[in-house]
A and B are shown apart, each in its own frame.
Chain A
């Protein structure tokens, strides 16, 4: 909080070449990141891509093996305590004391931040009210629902309004209603000037919330841009076609590839084809031509690119993100234990 003389010139986060290894696992393998103040910035990637490790480094919880970073102008390595004074982090797993009540959790944190006696209680009650938890204030956190826990966890990160709020997979495991309310909170916070860096494995979450998205895989940033930019890189969407007669799948694949360009992906059962269509119009025309050619379509749909498809496009089809994610979850679990 000392160098507030030029508060708006320095970016919220500026990282160069961050690296973190856990033994043989290159969790983060040289990442640059620039996040302007007041922005919602999403780090998108499958499980084990290095999202959490990257965030833990920026939140001073893990020491980078190489690279530098400044958070709100404070050096991560030289002045971690200054960084801590201007950030808050809500981890993937509720960082709350389950045995204490919601109110006691917030009062405890308020006291740690320096609020005394009555002021600490007042701040706790204020946040409980703002997050719709007043009725549950005197209940132990272990009796909270998943959504309530997440709200309390976010409230716990707002005892003092942070410069940067780190949210690690803020909506994983939440029902749609709770998810919406967390999204709304995130938007409100960003509007009030808080910079938000969040990780997610959901394309739609990044799409809905973030002004900029960095796509991370294997500890490296493979793309960065606005949601629109990423989608353009991927194609506006995927055309999924199911055939009435599966024996004609090779004909249909060849036909669609010729018509739309690019490669066709086949689903496991071999009855559905997916291909990038740049515009809905192009997709419609391709479908009509397919039917005119006598290949009967049982069903079709047009979808925004999924995370899988973004990866497919960005990595040039080097394998399915979901498959890799499954392989790497174990590695992250191992890395987690070592941390």
Chain B
């Protein structure tokens, strides 16, 4: 008999009473801590997250940049705020995948059978998402700065743009949380997510000025919420943002939150 088993046979687990009930905030923070631990143990997830945007940044800047904006350096001024929006949006897909993984493994059954604030696991998920958005955004921004991107509004503009990015990520996150709750195979969540997001991201003003596009496409691109978000992010980083731009950029995230947060709750509590 191995040592582990015999050790188990010799001892009865000590009995313990429940300590004072923790607050909802404390519950949520525990799940946030879990998200942070995930960075430590699964650093690859961050790699997945930033590799695509890094590749996009390098390819678009050096291959298409000259043709699209006169020079790679000029293209960076347009492209970096846009690719940040794309990063955050794709990021949300991974978040839905993570949720789907948790659900497929029975981990949430344990959480749901605990006497905790029932939304704490989602709050924790959000904490993890915000961290991921900020980390991935910072990496992309650093590469942009290295390549010659110069935001006119300086640090304040960057901070404001990141706040906008987090709000966008939060809003878009609901779509993939709902998908994660509905679909128990993480790969399907990813495939569906990207199938949905790729056309939305490409048919936007992130990479190319819509003025060169055919009329029917331009009509879509100018109202595409992704374009509105990219426009606002650019404006914040160059210090020219208007209230109107911000309101338009935040419309989709707000609408999604209002519509999908109750759906999420219902799906989670459905039993």
- Residue ranges of A at the interface with B (Cβ–Cβ < 8 Å): 1, 56, 59-63, 81-82, 84-85, 87-89, 91-101, 104, 108-109, 111-116, 119, 123, 126-127, 129-133, 135-136, 140, 147-148, 151, 155-156, 158-161, 177-178, 180-181, 184-185, 188-189, 191-193, 337, 339
Contact = CB atoms under 8 A, between A and B. Distances in A.
Contacts of B4: 132-133, 135-136, 148
Question: Shortest 3 CB-CB distances between A and B: which pairs?
Answer: A132-B4, A132-B7, A95-B110
B18 A95 contact: no
Contacts of A155: 13
Contacts of A147: 5
B41 A100 contact: yes
A159 to B, nearest CB: 7
A96 B102 CA distance: 9
Contacts of A60: 112-113, 271
Nearest to B7: A132
Nearest to B42: A99
Interface stretch (B20-28, B53-61, B250-258): B20-28
A135 B42 CA distance: 22
Interface stretch (B32-40, B129-137, B169-177, B215-223): B32-40
B271 A339 contact: yes
B17 A160 contact: yes
Contacts of A111: 22, 26, 30, 33
B37 A177 contact: no
A101 B41 CA distance: 9
Contacts of B5: 132, 147, 177-178, 180-181
Contacts of B20: 114
Contacts of A104: 37
Interface in B209-241: none
B109 A185 contact: no
Nearest to B112: A61
A192 B102 CA distance: 33
A185 B10 CA distance: 10
Nearest to A136: B4
Contacts of B11: 129-130
Contacts of A193: 15
B41 A140 contact: yes
A272 B22 CA distance: 63
B16 interface: yes
B271 A112 contact: no
Nearest to A151: B8
Contact of A61 (B13, B15, B109): B109
B113 A108 contact: no
A140 B37 CA distance: 11
A88 B184 CA distance: 24
Interface residues of B, number: 45
B131 to A, nearest CB: 16
Contacts of A96: 107, 110
A112 B113 contact: no
Nearest to B20: A114
B19 A115 contact: yes
A147 B26 CA distance: 32
A182 to B, nearest CB: 9
A158 B13 contact: yes
B113 A97 contact: no
A159 B16 contact: yes
Nearest to A62: B271
Nearest to A97: B107
11 contacts: A81-B115, A91-B109, A100-B38, A111-B26, A113-B19, A131-B13, A159-B16, A177-B5, A180-B5, A185-B8, A189-B13
A89 B12 CA distance: 19
Contacts of A59: 113
B118 to A, nearest CB: 9
Contacts of A129: 7, 11
Contact of A93 (B8, B102, B106, B112): B106
B113 A100 contact: no
Contacts of A161: 15-17
Given A95-B105, A100-B34, A192-B12, A119 B116 contact: no
B34 A192 contact: no
Interface string B97-132: 000001001110111111110001000000000000
Contact of B114 (A100, A113, A119): A113
A191 B12 contact: yes
Contacts of A185: 8, 13
Contacts of B37: 99-100, 104
A324 B111 CA distance: 33
Nearest to B29: A111
A147 B8 CA distance: 12
B18 A85 contact: yes
B33 A119 contact: no
A109 B26 CA distance: 12
A116 B3 CA distance: 31
A131 B14 CA distance: 11
B146 interface: no
A63 B271 contact: yes
Nearest to A87: B113
